[in-house]
């Protein structure tokens, strides 16, 4: 691996799909092993935004609104379907996505403004639908923490998806919310193989630490689920049952799975990662991916984009259903209560006596 990419997931920094210029590498005679070894630094840039809730009408996901406190993600998961969104910023979905992070420091204030709007209707907010709300930069910036404080204050339900044990920092908020059926956490586990995890998700928590996080959440009274995702044909899909079994043993009460998605630039980025880290199996894995996507590398269609199609994808879904029934992880997704919501007071509202 190029030493300048130490601790990073993307195999390079390819141009985004909107860039009209291309840079051709030039050999100036200096061997790569004589170049200075330095890790690629992370920069965090505050972003000014007028809204914080992102809404969707997708039939594939069980929520219609989400909050992403950060754009880009330092975890560096090479398969992340959100990588191509950095192209809209004029940046690369490769190393730029995991080293050039944009934060939303006004998230808590903006959320409070949206919750007090006269027409606001309470439904579960998904925290971290695109990028991880507990990625490493959250330790310092605490934007996710601020969002949770607003949700807790106004008794608004939230479902969190993360790969990080940092979520345990906020148990003082999540535990009382969970007692009111206002919070649930899903921990994403892609593989139990530490070496594969280090290469696929270089700055995310180790697999065992994620299982420990599920146990700690459960012990604290916070309903925890597992997302065995993404399943990558020929790479980690053989681990599906083992992941579900380990999560159930740790106390998980629900489970989900998503097939690998490779939109836009991610197709070439992931293929490049395979050629570097699994060169002898790359062609076979890419062939299996196409078999689950009707001969393509990606399927953007509602209804099939999360599950795939064809015999291989159908077998994967059948294995998931069989395992979750056996382990008691089917049909037990935590039900969160939307009836307790108390809107923030608007200017001129009379204060409550109670």
Sorted by where each starts, the structural domains of the chain and their CATH numbers stand as 41-258 (3.20.20.70)
Strands 70-71 and 100-103 turn out to be antiparallel
Closest CA to 207 of 222, 230, 219, 190: 190
Q: What percent of the chain has pLDDT over 70?
A: 86
Residue 39 has pLDDT above 70, yes or no: no
Position 318 pLDDT exceeds 90: yes
pLDDT category of residue 306 using cuts at 50, 70 and 90: confident
Check pLDDT > 60 for residue 27. no
Token pair 């790569």: residue = 32
Looking at every residue in the chain, the average pLDDT score rounds to 89
More confident residue, 200 or 8: 200
Rounded mean pLDDT of 247-263?
A: 96
Check residue 349 and give its pLDDT. 63
Average pLDDT in the 46-55 region? 92
Q: Has residue 350 got a pLDDT over 90? A: no
Flag whether pLDDT at 151 surpasses 70. Answer: yes
Dist. CA 87–CA 15, nearest whole Å: 8
pLDDT attached to residue 37: 45
The CB-side HSE value for 138 (13 A sphere, CA atoms) comes to 31
User: Is residue 184's pLDDT more than 80?
Assistant: yes
Task: State the pLDDT at residue 28.
Answer: 38
- Average pLDDT (20-37) is 46
Q: Find, among 85, 76, 74, 82, the residue nearest to 16 by Cα.
A: 85
- At 268, the pLDDT band (50, 70, 90 cuts) reads very high
CA distances from 351 to 27, 31, 150, 340, 344 (A): 70, 71, 18, 18, 11
Backbone angles phi, psi at 183, to 5 degrees: -150, 140
pLDDT band for position 233 (cuts 50, 70, 90): very high
pLDDT of residue 2 exceeding 80, the answer is no
Q: Is the pLDDT of residue 129 over 70?
A: yes
């Amino acid at each position: 691996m190029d030493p300048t990419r130490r601790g990073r997931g993307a195999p390079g920094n390819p141009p985004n799909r909107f860039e009209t210029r291309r840079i051709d590498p030039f050999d100036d005679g200096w061997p790569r092993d004589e170049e200075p070894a330095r890790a690629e630094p992370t920069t965090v840039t505050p972003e000014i935004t007028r809204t914080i809730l992102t809404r969707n009408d997708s039939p594939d996901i069980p929520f219609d609104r989400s909050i992403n406190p950060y754009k880009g993600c330092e975890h560096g998961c090479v398969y992340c379907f959100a990588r191509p969104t950095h192209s809209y910023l004029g940046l690369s979905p490769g190393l730029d996505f995991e080293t050039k992070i944009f934060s939303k420091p006004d998230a808590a204030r903006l959320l409070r403004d949206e919750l007090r709007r006269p027409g606001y209707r309470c439904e579960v907010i998904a925290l971290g639908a695109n990028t991880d709300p507990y990625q490493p930069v959250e330790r310092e910036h605490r934007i996710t923490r601020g969002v949770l404080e607003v949700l807790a204050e106004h008794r608004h339900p939230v479902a969190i998806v993360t790969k990080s044990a940092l979520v345990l920092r906020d148990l003082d908020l999540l535990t009382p919310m969970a007692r009111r059926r206002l919070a649930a956490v899903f921990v994403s586990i892609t593989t139990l193989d530490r070496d594969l995890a280090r290469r696929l998700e270089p700055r995310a928590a180790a697999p065992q630490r994620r299982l420990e996080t599920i146990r700690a959440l459960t012990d604290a009274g916070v309903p925890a689920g597992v997302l065995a995702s993404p399943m990558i044909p020929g790479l980690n899909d053989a681990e599906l049952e083992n992941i579900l079994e380990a999560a159930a043993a740790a106390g998980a009460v629900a489970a989900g799975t998503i097939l690998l998605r490779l939109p836009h630039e991610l197709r070439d980025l992931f293929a490049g990662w395979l050629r570097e880290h699994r060169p002898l199996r790359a062609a076979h894995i890419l062939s299996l991916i196409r078999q689950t996507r009707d001969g393509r590398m990606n399927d953007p269609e509602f209804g099939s984009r999360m599950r795939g199609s064809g015999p291989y994808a159908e077998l994967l879904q059948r294995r998931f259903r069989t395992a979750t029934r056996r382990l008691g992880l089917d049909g037990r997704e935590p039900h969160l209560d939307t009836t307790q919501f108390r809107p923030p007071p608007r200017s001129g509202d009379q204060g409550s006596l109670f």
